[in-house]
Amino acid sequence: MTSKYIGETEKNLAELFGRAEHAEVVLLFDEADSLFGKRTDVKDSNDRFANQQTNYLLQRIESFEGITLLTSNSRARFDSAFTRRLDAIIEFLAPGPVERRALWLAHLGESNTLDAVALNRLAANCDLPGGHIRNVVLSAAALAGAQGAALGEAELSAALASEYRKLGKQMPAGVGVSG
């Protein structure tokens, strides 16, 4: 969609919106804050053209005759003028312990050696969203497969440590291989 050439992004967006209106499809802009970002003070021509793109999107979103979904994990990066043009803003809160337990169960499946206590400890102490839980389980499954073992606490502990390192965070106390 985006182009380094002046006016090309707007041209691409105009074509996209036009086709979407005629095809009666839903438009989904994933990580939309990169395209629908805040306008800035104009310091050079790049700022002026970035603001021009945002202005075009503001106008086009308002006149669009279809359904558009914008996803982002950073609402603060959107230009505030988009807010009044959106019919609804739905915020998905981070999962709590009950939801995290369900996520662990969904990703772990049946082939693991965790007992209810270990699962509850993971859900209570590991404040991770679903995508990170998925990463941990996939890494733990790969470790278990390489060792020819069933997925258990040792593999999950190693995978959790790796995921927390990627996040630049300390692994929570009380999580890891039990005694």
Residues 130-146 have pLDDT tens digits of 999 999 999 999 999 89
Residue 104 and residue 122 in contact, taking contact as beta carbons nearer than 8 Å: yes
User: What 3-state class would DSSP assign to 62?
Assistant: helix
Q: Which candidate, 125, 129, 138, 134, places its Cα nearest to that of 170?
A: 125
How many beta carbons lie within 10 A of that of residue 114, not counting itself?
18
Q: For residue range 49-82, what is the model confidence (pLDDT) as tens digits? A: 566 777 777 788 888 888 889 888 877 777 677 7
Residue spans per domain, the chain = 8-85, 97-167
Residues 97-167, CATH architecture: Orthogonal Bundle (1.10)
Domain topology for 8-85: Rossmann fold (3.40.50)
Residue 150 and residue 110 in contact, taking contact as beta carbons nearer than 8 Å: no
User: What six digits make up the tokens of 164?
Assistant: 């927390």
Cα separation of 115 and 161, whole Å? 20
Query: Phi and psi (nearest 5°) for 69?
Result: -115, 130
* Buried/exposed 21-42: b ≥16 CB within 10 Å, e otherwise: eeeeeebebeebbebbbebeee
Residue length of the chain = 179
* Arithmetic mean of pLDDT over the chain: 83
Q: For residue range 8-54, what is the model confidence (pLDDT) as tens digits? A: 777 888 888 888 888 888 888 888 777 766 655 556 555 555 667 77
Dihedral of the alpha carbons of 135, 138, 144, 146, in degrees to the nearest 10: -110
User: What six digits make up the tokens of 10?
Assistant: 């707007």
Q: What is the pLDDT of residue 6?
A: 67
pTM above threshold 0.85: no
Query: Phi and psi (nearest 5°) for 156?
Result: -65, -40
